[in-house]
């Protein structure tokens, strides 16, 4: 793994050395709202993580800033010529300036990588995990990550005897504040969506997985996705910090791909935002803000819309993605790519709450949009020009800045990880503070 550093500024470009890395950077560099900070090399930088294996393709999913100030990246690695069906889990650890420390490449039978890292344990002793699927048995797999050595250890996952084809994973809190793991899966024999609630040792907390019947025709969509033959459907699950009595999952239930609300004690369905039967009219992404308020995105008839501050999402009611009532306040964003990855999160900047979206555009750039809690756009910037850049994920950093993990196509062709790091002052300037 080779690190290619360069600095990106609104008004100028400065490179420390003349090299092939500079040529790549010049192809990539584009305008953005953030300025360079040379005084503190951990505050502002941009780095590409290259590979001398030109047959290898990387796909970013998640990042976490670790206790040492560095970053843990998570995604997949695959063969450039084969496509999604060959992808395995991939980890990359860098220090606080973005310099390479170690990498880990998952091996057979690991496949079907779930998109987010899971953090368990206490604040003083955090434990990091990733989840995927056994290529042969379709059972869920979990691996504990040693941040010092870069080694991973397989963990026993007891999600129930009927649980197969894991699709998404998240942590939630119960009514006592205890952390639990929600695992969404699919049983192709019985045609049911499954939700298993696990403790922090990954053991099932209920008599069996909760089951939600789906239409037979959905089977081919799920199987084609988990085998990497189609672009991912937006499976997800999660909970609500201020209301542990419910959780949600985005997936097939009954005859549609829906955003479903579930009673956390009984597993009973309580309400939904229904999409289409084939997953082309759906909630594309979502993050809970508070009470009945979400930040969401919607895909309808090939067009994307954003809901940066949707206040009328009720856990015990039914509506649909295409309903006029539901779409009040939608912000059409036709600039998004057809298969755009869209990541919304609530962050705090200078004691003020904002909703940030990181999205893929048709022009091959990563767009970052900031909305206040009134749903007003307060900032927009684009990262990348020349070489295509797409969204992975982002996180607020310990110095109150922002780290964005993306994918850059080096020389316009080779998919690699790229890290953008911006300082607190740059982030405040971005939203006009």
What digits encode the pLDDT tens for the residues 117-151?
999 998 889 999 999 999 999 999 999 999 999 99
> Is residue 105 domain-resident?
no
Per the CB < 8 A criterion, the answer to whether 339 and 231 are in contact is: yes
Q: How many domains does the chain have?
A: 2
Q: What is the pLDDT of residue 85?
A: 61
Mean per-residue pLDDT over the chain, rounded: 87
**Residue 123 burial class via C-beta count within 10 angstroms: exposed 0-12, middle 13-18, buried 19 and up:** exposed
**Average of per-residue pLDDT across 229-252:** 88
Question: Residues 181, 290: one domain?
Answer: yes
Q: Which two tokens stand for residue 360?
A: 């893929």
Per the CB < 8 A criterion, the answer to whether 417 and 48 are in contact is: yes
Q: Please name the residue that has the structure tokens 């405040």.
A: 428
Res 16 pLDDT > 50? no
Domain boundary among 309, 338, 367: 338
Neighbouring residues of 247: CB distance < 8 A, sequence distance ≥ 6: 172, 182, 237, 238, 239, 240, 261, 262, 264
Question: Residues 12, 120: one domain?
Answer: no
At 82, is the pLDDT very low, low, confident or very high (cuts 50, 70, 90)? low
Residue 79 preceded by cis peptide, ω within 30: no
> Can you tell me the distance from the alpha carbon of 387 to that of 357, in angstroms, rounded to the nearest whole number?
21
* CATH number of the CATH domain containing 212: 2.120.10
pTM above 0.85, yes or no: yes
Q: What is the pLDDT of residue 31?
A: 43
At 11, is the pLDDT very low, low, confident or very high (cuts 50, 70, 90)? very low
At 319, is the pLDDT very low, low, confident or very high (cuts 50, 70, 90)? very high
Composition of the chain by helix, strand, coil, percent to 5: 5, 50, 45
> Is residue 367 domain-resident?
no
> What proportion of the chain, given as a percentage, has pLDDT over 70?
87
Question: Residues 261, 328: one domain?
Answer: yes
Residues 365-383: tens digit of each pLDDT: 999 999 998 899 999 999 9
Question: Residues 269, 143: one domain?
Answer: yes
Specify the higher pLDDT residue, 329 or 380: 380
> Can you tell me the distance from the alpha carbon of 67 to that of 87, in angstroms, rounded to the nearest whole number?
29
Residues 332-363: tens digit of each pLDDT: 988 999 889 999 999 999 999 999 999 999 99
Q: Which residues of 166-196 are buried (b: 16+ CB within 10 A; e: fewer)?
A: bbbbbbbeeeeeeebbbbbbbbeeebbbbbb
Question: Residues 117, 251: one domain?
Answer: yes
Specify the higher pLDDT residue, 41 or 99: 99
Per the CB < 8 A criterion, the answer to whether 98 and 421 are in contact is: yes
Most confident residue range from 28-37, 218-227, 278-287: 278-287
Q: What is the pLDDT of residue 40?
A: 75
Q: What is the pLDDT of residue 33?
A: 45
Question: Residues 117, 186: one domain?
Answer: yes
Question: Residues 66, 151: one domain?
Answer: no
Residues 163-209: tens digit of each pLDDT: 999 999 999 999 999 999 999 999 988 889 999 999 999 999 998 89
> Is residue 107 domain-resident?
no
> Is residue 104 domain-resident?
no
> Is residue 363 domain-resident?
no
Res 259 pLDDT > 90? yes
Question: Residues 119, 8: one domain?
Answer: no
Domain housing 199: 113-227+232-338
Question: Residues 296, 319: one domain?
Answer: yes
Cα 428 to chain center, whole Å?
24
> Can you tell me the distance from the alpha carbon of 427 to that of 396, in angstroms, rounded to the nearest whole number?
10
At 25, is the pLDDT very low, low, confident or very high (cuts 50, 70, 90)? very low
> Is residue 217 domain-resident?
yes
Most confident residue range from 82-86, 266-270, 410-414: 266-270
Q: Which residues pair with 252 in a beta bridge?
A: 257
Specify the higher pLDDT residue, 34 or 177: 177
Question: Residues 249, 316: one domain?
Answer: yes
Domain boundary among 287, 309, 338: 338
Domain boundary among 276, 304, 338: 338
> Can you tell me the distance from the alpha carbon of 99 to that of 146, in angstroms, rounded to the nearest whole number?
18
Q: What is the pLDDT of residue 83?
A: 57
Per the CB < 8 A criterion, the answer to whether 371 and 379 are in contact is: no
> Is residue 374 domain-resident?
no
* CA–CA distances in Å: residue 19 to residues 16, 24, 29, 52, 352: 9, 9, 15, 16, 42
> Is residue 106 domain-resident?
no
**Average of per-residue pLDDT across 281-303:** 91
Q: What is the pLDDT of residue 342?
A: 97
Question: Residues 189, 305: one domain?
Answer: yes
Res 32 pLDDT > 60? no
Question: Residues 80, 120: one domain?
Answer: no
Work out the widest C-alpha separation in the chain, in whole angstroms.
63
> What proportion of the chain, given as a percentage, has pLDDT over 90?
69
Q: Please name the residue that has the structure tokens 């005859």.
A: 255
């Amino acid at each position: 793994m080779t690190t290619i550093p360069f600095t990106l500024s609104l008004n100028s470009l400065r490179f420390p050395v003349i090299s092939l890395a500079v040529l790549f950077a010049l192809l990539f560099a584009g305008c953005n709202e953030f300025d360079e900070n040379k005084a503190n090399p951990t505050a502002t930088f941009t780095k590409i993580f290259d590979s001398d294996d030109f047959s290898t393709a990387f796909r970013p999913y998640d990042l976490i800033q670790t206790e040492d100030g560095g970053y843990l990246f998570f995604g997949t690695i695959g063969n450039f010529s084969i496509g999604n069906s060959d992808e395995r889990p991939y980890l990359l650890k860098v220090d606080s300036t973005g310099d390479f420390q170690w990498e880990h490449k998952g091996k057979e039978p690991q496949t079907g990588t779930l998109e987010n890292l899971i953090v368990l344990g206490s604040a003083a002793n955090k434990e990091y995990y990733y989840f995927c699927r056994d290529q042969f048995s379709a059972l869920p797999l979990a691996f504990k990550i040693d941040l010092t050595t870069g080694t991973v250890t397989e963990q026993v996952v007891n999600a129930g005897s009927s649980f197969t084809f894991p699709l998404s994973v998240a942590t939630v809190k119960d009514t006592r504040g205890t952390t639990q793991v929600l695992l969404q899966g699919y049983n192709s024999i019985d045609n049911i969506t499954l939700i298993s609630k696990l403790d922090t040792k990954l053991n099932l907390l209920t008599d069996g997985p909760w089951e939600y019947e789906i239409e037979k025709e959905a089977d081919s969509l799920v199987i084609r996705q988990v085998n990497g033959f189609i672009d991912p459907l937006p499976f997800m699950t999660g909970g609500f910090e201020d209301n542990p009595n419910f959780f949600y999952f985005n997936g097939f239930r009954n005859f549609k791909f829906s955003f479903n609300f579930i009673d956390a004690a009984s597993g009973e369905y309580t309400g939904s935002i229904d999409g289409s039967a084939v997953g082309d009219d759906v909630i594309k992404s979502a993050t809970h803000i508070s009470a009945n308020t979400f930040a969401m995105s919607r895909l309808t008839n090939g067009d994307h819309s954003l809901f940066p501050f949707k206040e009328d999402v009720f856990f015990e009611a039914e509506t649909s993605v295409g309903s006029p009532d539901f779409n009040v306040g939608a912000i059409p964003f036709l600039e998004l790519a057809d298969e755009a990855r869209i990541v919304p999160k609530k962050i705090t900047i200078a004691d003020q709450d904002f909703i940030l979206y990181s999205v893929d555009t048709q022009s091959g750039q990563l767009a970052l949009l900031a909305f206040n809690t009134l749903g007003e756009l307060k900032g927009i910037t684009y990262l990348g020009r020349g070489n295509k850049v797409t969204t992975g994920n982002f996180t607020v950093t310990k110095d109150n800045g922002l780290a964005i993990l993306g994918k850059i196509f080096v020389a316009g062709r080779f998919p690699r990880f790229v890290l953008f790091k911006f300082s607190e002052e740059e982030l405040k300037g971005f939203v006009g503070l």
